[in-house]
């Protein structure tokens, strides 16, 4: 039975619509995150706008990791909304669908648990995360280490910076095998650990 070669290839309109849908999703995610984080600042000396951080994650994934899955990029933009704003999983699901809401939930720390236990849970849960959540987590750790190296939170001692670097490496070591390029980027920034 012969197949029609023209049917196997998507036409230009189908490709254009898929690109439009992806762009729309990413733009909606950045607008939603910007609104939710509008009054928040990073803890660095400059008190830079918090939204810069999720945008950095999306940029690392897209430009450095060549990750062009719009749902991963959207989840990266939204990754701190459950943890750091009044956003609920239900709200995310309603705006962006269950898959993106679930990715965000996977990378969200449980705030009512003590900090040390939260950190241990993040290490333990890393290996069992979905592939898309693992990509977001990798980008988050890359961006956090870059920020701590270049613009550390105000008042952080050398020891605290070193501890964060080491903890981030524990998390990433459990994500190994997810994306070789992003893992290499992490290793490069980890090599700049404050001494």
Q: Which of 64, 69, 84, 170 is catalytic?
A: 84
Catalytic residue among 83, 91, 102, 109: 83
Strand partners of residue 44: 153
Torsions phi, psi for 44 (to 5 deg): -75, 170
Burial class (CB in 10 A: 0-12, 13-18, 19+), 68: exposed
Tell me whether residue 84 is one of the annotated catalytic residues.
Answer: yes
**Known active-site residue 86:** no
Tell me the three-class secondary structure of the chain, residue by residue. CCCCHHHHCCCHHHHHHHHHHHHHHHHHHHHHHHHHCCCCECCECCCCECCHHHHHHHHHHHHHCCCCCHHHHHHHHHCCHHHHCCCCHHHHHHHHCHHHHHHHHHCCCCCCCCHHHHHHHHHHHHCCCCHHHHHHHHHHHHHHHHHHHHCCECCCCHHHHHHHHHHHHHHHHCCCCCCHHHHHHHHHHHCCCCC
Catalytic residues: 83-84
């Amino acid at each position: 039975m012969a197949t029609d070669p023209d049917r196997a290839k998507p036409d230009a309109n189908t490709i254009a619509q898929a690109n439009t849908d992806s762009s729309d999703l990413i733009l909606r995610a950045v607008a939603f995150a910007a609104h939710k984080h509008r009054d928040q600042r990073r803890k660095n000396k400059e008190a830079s706008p918090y939204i810069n951080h999720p945008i950095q994650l999306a940029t690392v994934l897209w430009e450095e990791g060549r990750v062009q899955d719009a749902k991963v990029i959207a989840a990266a933009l939204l990754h701190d909304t459950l943890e750091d704003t009044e956003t609920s999983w239900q709200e995310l699901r309603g705006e962006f669908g269950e898959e993106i809401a679930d990715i965000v939930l996977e990378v969200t720390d449980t705030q009512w648990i003590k900090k040390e236990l939260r950190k241990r849970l993040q290490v333990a849960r890393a290996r069992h995360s979905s592939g898309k959540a693992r990509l977001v987590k990798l980008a988050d750790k890359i961006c956090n280490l870059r920020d701590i190296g270049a613009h550390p939170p105000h008042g952080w001692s050398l020891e605290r910076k070193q501890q964060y670097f080491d903890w981030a490496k524990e998390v990433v070591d459990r994500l190994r095998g997810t994306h070789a390029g992003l893992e290499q980027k992490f290793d490069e920034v980890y090599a700049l650990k404050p001494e």
